Amino acid sequence: MLSPRVLLIEDEPGLAEILALNLRLAGYQVETALDGLTAWQRFEADPPDVVVLDLGLPAISGFRLLQLMRDSTPSPSVIVITALDFEEAEEVASYGVDGFMTKPFEPKALVRQVEYALARRRQARQD
């Protein structure tokens, strides 16, 4: 069986590299995108199982990407990572994300969020 696929969308190259490494070490196939346009192109070409999405992106905003992904079929699990404050982040809840993390955070915490999102997705399919 193939490992679950993660699309990591983060505009800070150093952080993207660290997060991708930790996800790969946990057994996930990871593709990265540093801007919203590249992310959307990769998403459309081959939708992943989980999207890790930074909201503050160049080219296409993370909020717009989230809208587009939620309108796609099938809709992936989405974990939002952001430096936004709590009030701004509340808007994200209306999109039905599967996880939310405020920067800074430990990379292993993101790996756990991905595991939880995949487990919820498997459980939903069984119900």
Helix H, strand E, coil C: the string for 78-121 is EEEEECCCHHHHHHHHCCCCCEEEECCCCHHHHHHHHHHHHHHH
Whole-number pLDDT of residue 96: 76
Provide the 10 A C-beta neighbour count for residue 70: 13
**39 Cβ contact list (under 8 Å, min separation 6):** 7, 9, 33, 53, 57, 60, 65
DSSP conformation class of 66: H
For 12-43, give the DSSP string. Answer: -HHHHHHHHHHHHHTT-EEEEESSHHHHHHHH
Whole-number pLDDT of residue 16: 97
Structure token digits, residue 121: 């997705």
Per-residue pLDDT of the chain (127 residues; tens, 9 = 90+): 679 999 999 999 999 999 999 999 999 999 999 999 999 999 999 999 999 999 889 889 888 999 899 888 778 899 999 887 666 666 776 677 888 888 889 999 999 999 999 998 888 777 6
Q: What is the CATH number of domain 5-126?
A: 3.40.50.2300
Whole-number pLDDT of residue 82: 85
Whole-number pLDDT of residue 6: 97
The whole-angstrom distance between residue 60's C-alpha and the CA centroid of its chain comes to 15
Half-sphere exposure of 63 (CA within 13 A, CB side): 9
Q: Where are the domains of the chain?
A: 5-126
What angle, 0 to 180 degrees and rounded to 10, lies between the N-to-C axes of helices 13-25 and 107-126?
60
Whole-number pLDDT of residue 1: 61
Considering the entire predicted model, what is its pTM?
A: 0.91
